[in-house]
Structure 1
Amino acid sequence: MSEKLDSLIIIDRKADLITPMLTQLTYEGLVDELIGIKNSHVELPVSLLTPPSAPNQATPGASSSTVPPPAATLTKEKKKKYHLTSATDSLLAELRDLNFAAVGKKLNQVARRIDEDYKLRHQAKTVAQLRDFVGKLGGLQTEHLSLRLHTGLSEMLVPQTRTEIFNKSLEIQQNLLASYDTNGQISAIEELIAEGADLQVVLRLLCLASIITGGIKAKTLENIKREILQTYGYNYLPLLLSLASPPLSALLPSPLPASAPSSVAASKYPYTSVRKALRLLIEDPDPLEELENDISYVYSGYAPISVRLVQCVAQKGGVLSNPAGEKDKKIAGSNAAGKKNKGAAVPKVHAHPIVGWKGFEDVVASIPGEVVDIIQNAPGTHDNVASSISNSMLPKEQTTTTVVFFLGGCTYTEIAALRWVARQNKGRKFLIATTGMITGGSLVAIAMVNIAPNTQNGNTANKAPKKRRASSGGRKKLTPFNKFMQTETARLKEEQPDLDNKSRFKLVIDNWNKQKEKE
């Protein structure tokens, strides 16, 4: 490789289908999940993009114009495209990679700083001091508008993150990642179907459960498919078939039928062994949102497999170390320095040379897909590993670039995790390339293309979450079966509270079938 580019790491999406199926928890990732980012543009209410009129120009910092309209008002407004880029929005650069739980605190800090900067005008006594303040005024006004925009955008996200279905979905995801009571999580997904949750939410959870557990019990999966078709419509049968077929093969029964293609059998994921070998879960994620001492902060305790694989090549210590064990030391160091974020007490180390998958050969070989490790030697050098390592050890004052290419798309949260990796070392930058930006919803939407000729239905399902949240869960559009499910489930919960979810659900199905026989 050249002196500027030391390596190219290609991650096939098939190597990690788990991460995109999870709900992104960084600021930019959550914007993509709940509002949608297309070609770096997001549709926002016009009032957030229009400079407010300040009734009292003498006190711009204290003006009520800093407060955006209420979230309920914003959702009803006419929308306009906004280019979401850190090139013109410095506040976005500070917010985009934060766990959403830390965004409110950051916005509060920025608001106080801007207010203090505005108050400096009262201390200007001389012409030179006034000229200096006027020179800063344009930047302050730009920051002021950016703060207003992101405060309003955050307020649009908050109500959606507080819905019962959203939080149930997160709970199911965390339990599946920890391999906790997987049968109970399947029952919880069935409850979401009965509640009329958005189809994409249900399918993402089912695919996640299937990949993590190596497949859902055949009889259970068939029952769930029947429930989905009866609840959402039989036009989604091709979608279910598509999710179970290559290239996704994300919704599989266990055991696989004898007729299953060999490529499907080879795609089964060894999640349990990978979780331990790559240290995917942090047992105590509470301080992560503040300290950000591991990439797992982006998913509140789960480290994306794709980025862990990049660390296997470019930051091996990040895979092996346990940040949770050093949290007390880091908190103490951060407090002594007067700040508590981004692990400020931990000094940067110089990036180690690239030596391929060395040290992680076994776990990488267990992941579905071909493992490639090619060394490109400069002309005139010997074809051996020692020579390659020597060539890659550049002087410390030089900085090399490692290209990470996601084949099949990546999420904004994975990019946030890679930016975190880049911040930890000196001497190495990362250039991130991808075939496209994705979410679990967009992966399901790709499979929906196979629904013909009713492609419009697929598009409608893709946009359903926003409509349902705005109309009391979308219950007015429920099918007769779904209405029966809701009323019968509520009745049984009241009359037979000791029934477990699975037994209650089976009883509801039996009662439905009996009712249909009478008709």
Structure 2
Amino acid sequence: MCIQFNRIEVPTTSFSNDFREVQKLDAATQEKVAVRLLSSDKLYSDTRYLHMISVGKILQEGARAQRQLRTDFDNQFSGSASNIQGKKLAELREFVTRMSNQNAKTQTLSTHLELAFFIKQELTSMYDMYLSNQLSMLFSPILQDALHQIDERIAWKDNIFCILRYLSIITQSLGTQLKRKEYDLIKRDLIQTYGLQYLVLIHALEQVGILVVPDINKNASAIKTNETNFERLKREFNLLQDDQIINVVDPQDIYYIYYQYAPISIRLIEKIVFPTTNNIQDVMNSLPGITFIDTQQVPMELKRQRHGSTASLSSLNKTNKQQTQQQQQQQQQQVTESKVTLVVFIGGITYGEIAALRFLADQNHDFIIATTHFINGTNLMKSLLDVPILPL
């Protein structure tokens, strides 16, 4: 499956026989089907900003509503033509209105249900297992459990990119506890199991800091007292939500994007755009690499303005000049600047970060995103390779 620029390519054989028959798809001649996700699609427009759990509930509600509409039609209008003619005009009109409103969402319901079923099959139980292990490593990391899990995954020959992502979290969260000997043993097992070509990838991940190589010269006292850079970032940026209950239907924070984890890039944007009492420079200093802050003054002629609410119709009908002048003064006070922030992601942005920025945009602030690529954990790692990946 390929998802790019609101366009999904799905193998024809992944659709059900009934769907292929209705859409007139021939699995023998068409290898893939391109499905366009358009904002004019009512169902897609209602679900595009939601968490995947909420999307599943909306699809279920749409299917139940369609089934209920057919049941109501059979109960009210089944039988002879005389039964239908005997119905009141108001009843017929009400049912047609219900049918029209429902059809606006159900025209593409079958397509979205097929796509959701296909994606659910792609995300096997392995996905849930890795997600659970990664979250446990972020909240309460235990070295021996982590080593056992990664040895077991290598023995089962899981997807190497999933293993490397899990290993990166281990090195980030347990950097002071993980010994160099244990880290080198994991590298050796990976290379022996998956092939020598992945040594280039592991070296590249170490160079960019995704994999933190344990210091061979660290002593026991440093292990107990030193705080990892990731632990410091968790505290400074409030990256984790300790509460196990996250409301994905009505979220109150960007934690819901990654199941109790807030992306650090969006937390940084949030602290800059919506400043608190903390000094932003102190927060920036906790980030790895070189950082700087430069403030530019926007000329008045370039500032957009957003007007507040206007007066009610009843007040506009009043002829008292003094009241009219007071209303105009109030309207002028309600004129506020429309704040727009351009956010540039060099190297790529994930769809989760886009969803988090959409959530922040609900706070009367507009964001424009400029990026070089759309990335995820897998294609980010593949981009670091100097040689093509061999099929596993």
Normalising by the smaller structure, the TM-score range is 0.7 to 0.9
Give the whole-Å Cα distance in 2 for the aligned partners of 1:157 and 1:172: 21
2:40 aligns with one of 74, 88, 109: 88
Instruction: Tell me, yes or no, if the aligned pair for 1:217 and 1:253 is still in contact at 8 Å.
Output: no
Q: Would you say 1:110 and 2:48 are equivalent positions? A: no
Cα 1:380–1:142 shift into 2, 3 Å: closer
Instruction: Tell me, yes or no, if the aligned pair for 1:409 and 1:434 is still in contact at 8 Å.
Output: yes
Q: Would you say 1:301 and 2:260 are equivalent positions? A: yes
Shift of 1:167: 2.7
Give the number of the structure with larger relative contact order, counting CA–CA contacts within 8 Å between residues 6 or more apart: 1
Write the letter of the residue equivalent to 2:202: L
Residue 241 of structure 2: aligned partner: 282
Residue 501 of structure 1: aligned partner: none
Q: CA RMSD in A?
A: 3.7
Give the whole-Å Cα distance in 1 for the aligned partners of 2:300 and 2:258: 46
Partner deviation per Cα, 1:401-443 (whole Å, 9 max, x = no partner): 22222222111111111111112x23x2222222111100011
Write the letter of the residue equivalent to 1:194: A
Write the letter of the residue equivalent to 1:204: R
Shift of 1:142: 5.4
Shift of 1:117: 6.5
Cα 1:49–1:188 shift into 2, 3 Å: closer
TM-score (norm 2): 0.73
Q: Would you say 1:180 and 2:132 are equivalent positions? A: no
Instruction: Tell me, yes or no, if the aligned pair for 2:138 and 2:173 is still in contact at 8 Å.
Output: yes
Write the letter of the residue equivalent to 1:197: D
Residue 368 of structure 2: aligned partner: 431
Partner deviation per Cα, 1:144-165 (whole Å, 9 max, x = no partner): 24221222222223334442x3
Shift of 1:97: 3.4
Shift of 1:188: 0.9
Cα 1:298–1:51 shift into 2, 3 Å: same
User: What SS does the aligned partner of 2:354 have?
Assistant: helix
Partner deviation per Cα, 1:372-414 (whole Å, 9 max, x = no partner): 2222225699xxxxxxxxxxxx955553322222222111111
Partner deviation per Cα, 1:155-188 (whole Å, 9 max, x = no partner): 223334442x323311221022114213421331
TM-score (norm 1): 0.56
1:367 aligns with one of 270, 278, 287: 287
Instruction: Tell me, yes or no, if the aligned pair for 2:43 and 2:106 is still in contact at 8 Å.
Output: no
Residue 252 of structure 1: aligned partner: 212
May I ask how many residue pairs the two structures share in their alignment? 335
Partner deviation per Cα, 1:244-296 (whole Å, 9 max, x = no partner): 22xx23223211689xxxxxxxxx97211221222211112324223311111
Write the letter of the residue equivalent to 2:375: I
Shift of 1:193: 0.4
Cα 1:380–1:405 shift into 2, 3 Å: closer
Give the whole-Å Cα distance in 2 for the aligned partners of 1:290 and 1:44: 28
Give the whole-Å Cα distance in 2 for the aligned partners of 1:182 and 1:170: 17
Give the whole-Å Cα distance in 1 for the aligned partners of 2:68 and 2:61: 11
Write the letter of the residue equivalent to 2:374: M
Identity of aligned residues (%): 27
Cα 1:126–1:50 shift into 2, 3 Å: farther
Residue 163 of structure 2: aligned partner: 202
Residue 310 of structure 1: aligned partner: 269
User: What SS does the aligned partner of 1:226 have?
Assistant: helix
Write the letter of the residue equivalent to 1:41: R
User: What SS does the aligned partner of 2:384 have?
Assistant: helix
Cα 1:420–1:376 shift into 2, 3 Å: same
What does 1:209-358 align with in structure 2 at a 5 Å threshold? 209-214=170-175, 216-245=178-207, 248-255=208-215, 270-316=229-275
Q: Would you say 1:411 and 2:363 are equivalent positions? A: no
Give the whole-Å Cα distance in 1 for the aligned partners of 2:293 and 2:369: 19
Q: Would you say 1:441 and 2:361 are equivalent positions? A: no
1:171 aligns with one of 121, 127, 132: 132
Point out where structure 2 has 5 or more consecutive residues left out of the alignment: 78-86, 219-226, 302-332
Instruction: Tell me, yes or no, if the aligned pair for 1:193 and 1:227 is still in contact at 8 Å.
Output: yes
Shift of 1:140: 4.5
